């Protein structure tokens, strides 16, 4: 890990079994980033309780998510892998940022409106506050870049506004000419390559999601081969022969062909040529086989990791220590800039 590399931070919520969207849209890209970036990956368990959650599942989902990061190729020697709630600075910076963030900035967040709508009257203040916690996650690590999908662009923009307009412009240390200098780094979005959006197997127009009540809508990374084959067999299709990309009338063809291109390793052009005149009945077994084969090594590594819980605990403890070293430093800078009296243990 070299400190001269741009730093990135990202995470997934432990809100259930990770699926192909989480893998192809996020974690697979993180694996490549390890070659070029200083990488921090956390399991964002504090975010997971912004919607109703089951305490009996949270710890298990947190462990399985962390184990899947490693099974997918995140290397704890090269990346800092940790659990968000293990680093207290996330909650504390979130509070400080809360007090500086205008309420109406949060009220216009699209994800809040969508998720709030789904929950009816039982919407927590935490759901509204989700993007401020996300801003704290990012800003604590002086991240240069944040990998974002379409759905998270607005939240990153908010994190940038909080850093720039509410912290740096108001509380940044004054330079010799009286101008304010940056207190926090303002992160840039890192737009990632193809595979960014995987759609539901039962509706090609909505994204594959952990919270979709219909389990047939997603393939999880731990689904056994028979279940993968069954889900693909039942996936929604259309009456047309031949698979193709980019036809707005055929979102399922676009999605499933995209999955085949990625999971088989053939790439989009070769996959499109191979399947251009193929019927669904021939295509689906091909996609099922490619999916099973792509997930096989991930599932093998996952089983190994889960059979040795001490190893995962050790990775997370080391990750916590490395993350805390950076996060506590940033928090101390912000506390000082905001005028807090240092406590005895914070005498810096
Ligand atoms: N369908 C998807 N296609 C591509 N990328 C996806 N991601 C999620 N779904 C897809 C990416 O996975 C990362 C972590 O997501 P998250 O768990 O923090 O939250 P999410 O985006 O809300 O994912 P889900 O599965 O839809 O979870 P629930 O249902 O719990 O809200 C992010 O980088 C995301 O872009």
The pLDDT tens digits for 212-241 are 999 999 999 999 999 999 999 999 999 999
Round to the nearest angstrom and report the end-to-end CA distance of the chain: 27
For residue 74, the model assigns a pLDDT of 98
Contact between 232 and 255 (Cβ < 8 Å): no
For residue 79, the model assigns a pLDDT of 98
Q: Is the CB of 282 under 6 A from ligand 1?
A: no
Task: Give the angle subtended at the CA of 56 by the CAs of 51 and 60, to the nearest 5°.
Answer: 95
Q: How far apart are CA 235 and CA 246, in angstroms?
A: 19
In the residue annotation, 115 being an active-site residue is answered as yes
Q: Which of 263, 318, 267, 250 is nearest to 289 (CA)?
A: 263
Q: List the beta bridge partners of residue 220.
A: 19
pLDDT band at 73 (very low <50, low <70, confident <90, very high): very high
In the residue annotation, 284 being an active-site residue is answered as no
**Spacing, Cα 209 to ligand 1 middle (Å):** 6
Ligand 1: residue of 209, 214, 254, 258 to mutate (most ligand atoms within 8 A of CB) is 209
Q: How far apart are CA 341 and CA 129, in angstroms?
A: 26
Question: Whole-number mean pLDDT of the chain?
Answer: 94
Q: Is the CB of 39 under 6 A from ligand 1?
A: no
Q: Express as a percent the part of the chain with pLDDT over 70.
A: 97
In the predicted model, is pLDDT for residue 295 greater than 60? yes
How many CB atoms sit inside 10 A of residue 257's CB?
25
How many CB atoms sit inside 10 A of residue 189's CB?
15
- Measured by CA distance, the residue closest to atom 7 of ligand 1 is 22
| 73 conformational bin, left if phi > 0, alpha if psi -120 to 50, beta if neither | left
The predicted model scores a pTM of: 0.94
pLDDT single digits (tens) 164-187: 999 999 999 999 898 999 999 999
Among 119-123, 250-254, 255-259, where is mean pLDDT lowest? 119-123
pLDDT single digits (tens) 304-331: 999 999 999 999 999 999 999 999 999 9
Q: Is the CB of 160 under 6 A from ligand 1?
A: no
For residue 192, the model assigns a pLDDT of 75
pLDDT band at 343 (very low <50, low <70, confident <90, very high): confident
Among 30-39, 174-183, 194-203, 282-291, where is mean pLDDT lowest? 194-203
For residue 346, the model assigns a pLDDT of 53
Task: State the residue for tokens 């996020």.
Answer: 26
For residue 306, the model assigns a pLDDT of 95
Q: How far apart are CA 271 and CA 227, in angstroms?
A: 24
**Spacing, Cα 344 to ligand 1 middle (Å):** 41
In the predicted model, is pLDDT for residue 2 greater than 90? no
- Length, in residues, of the chain: 348
In the predicted model, is pLDDT for residue 347 greater than 70? no
pLDDT single digits (tens) 121-168: 889 999 999 999 999 999 999 999 999 877 788 999 999 999 999 999
pLDDT band at 3 (very low <50, low <70, confident <90, very high): low
């Amino acid at each position: 890990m070299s400190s001269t590399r741009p730093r990135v931070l990202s995470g997934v919520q432990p809100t259930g079994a990770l699926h192909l969207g989480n893998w192809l849209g996020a974690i697979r890209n993180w694996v490549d980033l390890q070659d070029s970036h200083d990488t921090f990956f956390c399991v964002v368990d504090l975010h997971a309780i912004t919607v109703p959650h089951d305490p009996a599942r949270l710890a298990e989902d947190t462990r399985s998510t962390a184990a899947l990061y490693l099974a997918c190729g995140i290397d704890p020697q090269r990346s800092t892998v940790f659990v968000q709630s293990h680093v207290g600075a996330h909650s504390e910076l979130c509070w400080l940022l809360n007090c500086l963030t205008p309420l109406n900035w949060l009220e216009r967040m699209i994800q809040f409106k969508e998720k709030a709508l789904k929950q009816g009257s039982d919407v927590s203040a935490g759901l509204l506050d989700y993007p401020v916690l996300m801003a704290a996650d990012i800003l604590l690590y002086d991240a240069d870049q944040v990998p974002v999908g379409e759905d998270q662009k607005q939240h990153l923009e908010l994190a940038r506004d909080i850093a720039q307009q509410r912290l740096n412009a108001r509380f940044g240390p004054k330079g010799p000419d009286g101008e304010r200098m940056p207190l926090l780094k303002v992160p840039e979005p890192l737009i990632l390559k193809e595979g960014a959006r995987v759609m539901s197997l039962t509706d090609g127009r909505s994204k594959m999601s952990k919270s979709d009540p219909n389990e047939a809508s997603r393939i999880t990374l731990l689904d056994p081969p028979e279940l993968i084959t069954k889900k693909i067999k039942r996936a929604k299709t259309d009456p047309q022969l031949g698979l193709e990309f980019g036809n707005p009338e055929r979102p399922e063809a676009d999605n499933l062909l995209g999955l085949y291109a990625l999971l088989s390793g053939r790439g989009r052009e070769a996959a499109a040529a191979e399947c251009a005149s193929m019927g669904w009945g021939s295509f689906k077994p091909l996609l099922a086989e490619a999916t099973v084969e792509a997930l096989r090594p991930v599932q093998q590594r996952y089983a190994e990791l889960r059979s040795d819980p001490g190893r995962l605990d050790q990775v997370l403890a080391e990750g916590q220590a490395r993350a805390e070293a950076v996060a506590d430093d940033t928090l101390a800078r912000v506390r000082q800039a905001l005028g807090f009296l240092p406590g005895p243990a914070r005498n810096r």
